Chains A and B, each alone.
Chain A
Amino acid sequence: SAWNSRVPGEHGPSPWLCILADSREMCSGPEVLSCLRAVHGLRVQVCSLGTSDYIVSNRLAVDRMLQSELQSPGNRNRVSQRLQRLQGIFERICRTQYYDGVLSALVQAGVRILFSSCQEETAALLKDLALLEHRKDAAIQVPTEPEGHQRDVLNFYLSIPNLSYGAALNLCHSFGSITAVANSSVPALAAGARLSPPQAEELHRFLRHDFDLELLPQPLPAKRKS
């Protein structure tokens, strides 16, 4: 189409672009992953993202959903949970009043919705998103496969509430140690992890949170099986 030619790097490999894919996508979206690699030449790092299907930049997560997931009102809670913090990509479209309701609610919630009719198109959209984020200087630009001690440190960061996989990678890369992170100011955390000021504030607060045993949720007693 007419717009394609205006985007730099549209055709041919873009090896500087990196997308993180959740390991579940190897089963549910294999065509997406292979297209991203083979057709678009992107670096795709499969890891256990948990909260979203893809991360295309330091600030943008993508969920890929099928029409069937949106058809049934019984799925509404699950959809709601998945989408609370995420952007969405839907493959294929169907028509019910329920569906109109979901669409308008997503629009109201500020979730960006992209439609595609197959996994190849989804891959092209993911590449476009990654490219756009790259132009806005938000691309993932740190190593995505830490090893040994760095892997353990990454797992430590990943246990922090509301910290994205990308931010955890940035912490690994930008700070020499967990202690360096813990002793950093809010602006230093924001710069190093590529977080917004409120997110950095939340991380800072978490690291200094004064643990109170009384506030620890107690497991229900006397329900031991095994």
Chain B
Amino acid sequence: MTTKANFPVTAGSIVVPYGHVIGNEKWRGSELAQRLQGKVRLIFEDALGLVDFHLSNRTCILLISEADLVAGDEFKRRLVRFRNASSLRGIVIVEKTQISDQYYLGVQKLVVLELGMVLLPMANQGEASQLIIQLVREQSRDRGAGPFLGKRRAQPAEAAVLQAVQRIPGVGKTKALLLLQRFGSIHRLCNAAIHELEQAVGQTVAQQIYTFLHS
């Protein structure tokens, strides 16, 4: 591959063609790679450094195997180096097995709470491959089109304003509507003089409203 020399050696951003995954050479021939083949277009590179897979120009995967967890702290140094060196969004996939389970809470604390990265536990390379395939599909959606993104529509504030005014003790829906039609906004209702309130809702309730809004 002729463009290889242009790729940064560690943790940097690289160009990932649409629908492709760029994998670290060390995964060539692995079970994980075999399961990805055919589902995504997988290209291997040998200069990815800390990163295992690039899913897009912004997102990459770092895998921590059961063996890494058992071996000691080296994987922590790797994650911290990545976090310090890279502006990419790193998704950490950790192999959570019966053996490595005891380390999970500690890893979660480091990765999610201390480093602010995403951590997803997977039982084996097969599960990891399924997740990577889904992540690639999710990546290729338009930004903002995910099922959990941007569904809130702006609604007219009228109903909410009416609700708020009805939270004033002594004010039901009828009086709330009277007040809003007369004063227009909560801000102007707050700044109304007591005699103006009296003209709208009578002396007793006016006093109640005035006290509520001013103390």
Report the minimum CB–CB distance from A165 to chain B (whole Å). 15
Q: Is the CB of A2 within 8 A of B73?
A: yes
Task: Tell me, rounded to whole Å, the shortest Cβ–Cβ distance linking A84 to chain B.
Answer: 6
Residues of A within 8 A of B214 (CB): 177-179
Which chain A positions have C-beta within 8 A of B123? Answer: 95
Q: Shortest Cβ distance from A219 into chain B, in angstroms? A: 10
Collect the chain A residues with CB atoms within 8 Å of residue B104's CB. Answer: 115
**Does A105 interact with chain B (Cβ within 8 Å)?**
yes
Contacts of B103 in A (CB 8 A): 1
13 contacts between A and B (CB under 8 A): A1-B103, A4-B106, A80-B147, A104-B135, A107-B120, A108-B141, A152-B167, A159-B164, A177-B214, A178-B212, A182-B186, A207-B186, A211-B158
Which B residues touch A155, using CB under 8 A? Answer: 167
When the two chains form their complex, are residues B114 and A84 in contact, meaning their CB atoms are under 8 A apart?
no
Q: CA–CA, A111 to B159, complex, Å?
A: 30
Across the interface, A100 reaches (CB within 8 A) one of B130, B164, B181, namely B130
Q: Chain A's nearest CB lies how many Å from the CB of B178? A: 11
B181 partner residues in chain A, CB cutoff 8 A: 211, 213
CB A21 to nearest CB in B, in angstroms, measures 20
A residues less than 8 Å from B168 (CB atoms): 156
A26 interface hit (Cβ, 8 Å):
no
Q: Which residues of A contact B161 (CB under 8 A)?
A: 206, 209, 211
Query: What is the bound-complex CA distance between A215 and B162, given in angstroms?
Result: 11
Contact B184 A211 (CB under 8 A): yes
Decide if B157 touches A161 in the complex (CB within 8 Å): yes
Kindly state the separation between the CA atoms of A129 and B113 in the bound complex, as whole angstroms: 7
Cβ-defined contact, A84 with B152, below 8 A? yes
